[in-house]
Chains A and B, each alone.
Chain A
Amino acid sequence: MSENGGPAKAGPDEAGTYAIRAESISKRFGSTLALDKVSFTLEKGELFGFIGPDGAGKTTLFRILASLLVPDAGHASVLGLDVVSDYRALRQRVGYMPGRFSLYPDLSVHENLTFFASVFGTTIEREYEQIKPIYIQLEPFKDRRAAALSGGMKQKLALCCALVHRPDILLLDEPTTGVDAVSRREFWDLLGRLKHEGLTTVVSTPYMDEATRCDRIALIHRGRLLGVDTPEAITRTFERPLFGVRAGDRYRALLALRKYEHAYSAYPFGDVIHYTDKRVGASVGAIASDIKTFLTASGFSDGSVEPLTPTVEDSFIARTEDAA
């Protein structure tokens, strides 16, 4: 569609530092527009995150990048290889971990890994150095059936299988979904280690707090990118004054704040309410004392107000509200 006037056709050698270049990719399923003109570029060696909820289009995008799905419109190249025309060459060089656990549940840890190695014409022994940091964690369970592993260990096995043919880029679709907070942390530690070794990695996640583990992130919602940048830059563009409000009766305080004439939004974030104000130009101190006065007048004499630095989740919420 929008390829007219695009950059001159880049051969694999001209791809330069781009690990991925996506231009205006669209994909429709029936009446659902899963991806709506998605464009971005990824540098080699980056740890890049797609952050968004279920149904945002993350899986569709990953399938297209892994050459498993053909876009309706637009172009994408991975490592300089076109995802449609060069798919055979591409598949040798990509390590893809699908969102659904897709290893063989009846095979053991060792058998799964051996199988994936043999599909790519290699062996565990030959690739041992590449997979070692993860494999040593799995080794105590190497004879256990994959189905009998915990969620966190299953994901580590899947990562190991995606790495066994020594790919140049990893595509990990929601590797931490449904995994407990500790296993998530361990998984991200592993990704940090792989990045350190120079591997380019693209990850998707619905957990906003994982954004800070990435070099750059793309916020994705309803098939569209709401922003692509470093996590710091994403939060820096938060426009409205943001405050944390605490009160003994959080639920009633929340309902009251929503009715405050200057309120732009109020959402519960853990033990504190994140409140944004409509008065963009006013001083933070003045707004804070106004809110405090309002709380007291509304019967929340125990209320407290403090200015907050926005998180990626605040930015995501603000951008989806603005897009709506």
Chain B
Amino acid sequence: MSDIAIAVKDLTRIFGNFTAVDHITFNVNAGEVFGFLGANGAGKTTAIRMLIGLLAPTSGTARVAGHDVYAESEAIKRSIGYMSQRFSLYEDLTPRENIRLYGGIYGLRLAQIRERTQRMLTRLGLAQVADQPVSSLPLGWRQKLAFSVALVHEPRIVFLDEPTSGVDPITRRQFWELIYEAASRGTTVLVTTHYMDEAEYCDRISIMVAGRIAALGAPSELKQQHGVDSIDELFVRLARPGEQPGGTGVVRAATAEDQ
């Protein structure tokens, strides 16, 4: 079973009388790029917080990098990398200092940190700006650095939460190349995004609707199954059931979204 990076069965989280995540079941294979999609409020964030060991589930099971989400949340945190849509580096520190800080937090030895810093800065083309405050770098460079920093301890799995929000199209594509590169080295990537074309870059995707997984599979399979031309179309169809795209059923749709 070692080639399953994330194994989730009937995972559920209830807040008061609201079921944010409702019996979701899926596996993510090692080395896979897995797109975790859903409308705002569908339960993605709650699910991710459970998978990264920040929130205890109400019921169900999940193992991440072989560790149980109930009993081994600390071990999970050590075996994963995480990058959020909000910027996850210290802006007053330089790239070099950020790498050293995160390397230290993850318990790397100084020699390891030094070696990885060099490799990372060279690969990202950031050697020239290694000693300038991160705040002075363009957003796209910071996002690429943040991604590499999330991988500094060479985790088996990395969680990326809307990593490309607002970045320019060239940087967005360069960022995806970093994702491919990491995946080709065997890192498992779970990524959320609002760009539907990015969903098509993934090996497999899931689409959450109202706490449940409404679709799961390779983008090409899903398009074929549902008879649609794009994941965008499928997303709209699933996320707003009963509504024609661009139609007038929005009041009902809004109710579903906001309850």
Residue pair B176, A180 in contact (C-beta under 8 Å): no
Please report which residues of chain A, range 252-271, place their CB below 8 angstroms from some CB of chain B when the two chains form the complex. 252, 254, 267-271
Contacts of B220 in A (CB 8 A): 271
Q: Which of A141, A153, A254, A316 contacts B177 (CB 8 A)?
A: A254
Q: With A140-B255, A181-B232 given, is the CB distance from A320 to B170 under 8 Å?
A: yes
Please report which residues of chain A, range 124-140, place their CB below 8 angstroms from some CB of chain B when the two chains form the complex. 136-138, 140
Residue pair B197, A136 in contact (C-beta under 8 Å): no
Residue pair A180, B239 in contact (C-beta under 8 Å): yes
Residue pair A182, B235 in contact (C-beta under 8 Å): yes
Q: Which of B167, B184, B235, B253 contacts A53 (CB 8 A)?
A: B167
Q: Which of B177, B194, B200, B251 contacts A136 (CB 8 A)?
A: B251
- Whether, in the assembled complex, A122 has its beta carbon less than 8 Å from a beta carbon of chain B, the answer is no
Residue pair B41, A55 in contact (C-beta under 8 Å): no
Residue pair A185, B200 in contact (C-beta under 8 Å): no
Told that A54-B168, A177-B165 touch, could you supply 18 new A-B pairs with CB distance under 8 A?
Answer: A52-B168, A53-B139, A54-B139, A54-B166, A136-B251, A153-B254, A178-B85, A180-B39, A182-B39, A185-B246, A189-B246, A267-B173, A268-B177, A269-B197, A270-B201, A271-B200, A316-B169, A320-B169
Contacts of A251 in B (CB 8 A): 177, 180-181, 183-184
Residue of B nearest to A176 (CB): B194
Contacts of A235 in B (CB 8 A): none
> Can you show 5 pairs from A to B with CB atoms below 8 A apart?
A152-B39, A177-B165, A182-B239, A183-B39, A250-B180
The 3 closest A-B pairs by CB, nearest first: A270-B200, A53-B168, A54-B166
Q: With A152-B40, A182-B240 given, is the CB distance from A141 to B170 under 8 Å?
A: no
Bitwise interface map of A from 161 to 204 toward B, beta carbon under 8 Å scored 1, else 0: 00000000000000001111111111001000000000000000
Contacts of B181 in A (CB 8 A): 251
Count CB-based A-B contacts (< 8 Å): 123
Query: Which of B167, B168, B239, B253 has the most chain A CB within a 10 Å cutoff?
Result: B168
Q: Chain A contact residues (Cβ within 8 angstroms of B): what range?
A: 35 or more
Please report which residues of chain B, range 156-203, place their CB below 8 angstroms from some CB of chain A when the two chains form the complex. 162, 165-171, 173, 176-177, 180-181, 183-184, 194-201
A251 to B165, CA, bound (A): 22
Contacts of A64 in B (CB 8 A): none
Nearest chain B CB to A306's CB is how many angstroms away?
15
Nearest chain A CB to B29's CB is how many angstroms away?
16
Contacts of A284 in B (CB 8 A): none
Residue tally, chain B, CB below 8 Å to A:
47
Residue pair B219, A271 in contact (C-beta under 8 Å): yes
- Whether, in the assembled complex, A151 has its beta carbon less than 8 Å from a beta carbon of chain B, the answer is yes
- Whether, in the assembled complex, A321 has its beta carbon less than 8 Å from a beta carbon of chain B, the answer is yes
Contacts of A144 in B (CB 8 A): 258
A185 to B168, CA, bound (A): 21
Residue pair A53, B251 in contact (C-beta under 8 Å): no
Q: Which of A52, A56, A181, A254 contacts B235 (CB 8 A)?
A: A181
- Whether, in the assembled complex, A4 has its beta carbon less than 8 Å from a beta carbon of chain B, the answer is no
- Whether, in the assembled complex, B30 has its beta carbon less than 8 Å from a beta carbon of chain A, the answer is no
A140 to B254, CA, bound (A): 9
Please report which residues of chain A, range 24-62, place their CB below 8 angstroms from some CB of chain B when the two chains form the complex. 52-56
Please report which residues of chain A, range 205-250, place their CB below 8 angstroms from some CB of chain B when the two chains form the complex. 206-209, 221, 250
Residue of A nearest to B165 (CB): A178
- Whether, in the assembled complex, A111 has its beta carbon less than 8 Å from a beta carbon of chain B, the answer is no
- Whether, in the assembled complex, B228 has its beta carbon less than 8 Å from a beta carbon of chain A, the answer is no
A52 to B172, CA, bound (A): 12
Nearest chain A CB to B211's CB is how many angstroms away?
14
A56 to B171, CA, bound (A): 13
Please report which residues of chain B, range 238-259, place their CB below 8 angstroms from some CB of chain A when the two chains form the complex. 239-240, 245-246, 250-251, 253-255, 257-258
- Whether, in the assembled complex, A107 has its beta carbon less than 8 Å from a beta carbon of chain B, the answer is no
- Whether, in the assembled complex, A317 has its beta carbon less than 8 Å from a beta carbon of chain B, the answer is yes
Query: Which of B194, B199, B200, B246 has the most chain A CB within a 10 Å cutoff?
Result: B194
A142 to B251, CA, bound (A): 13
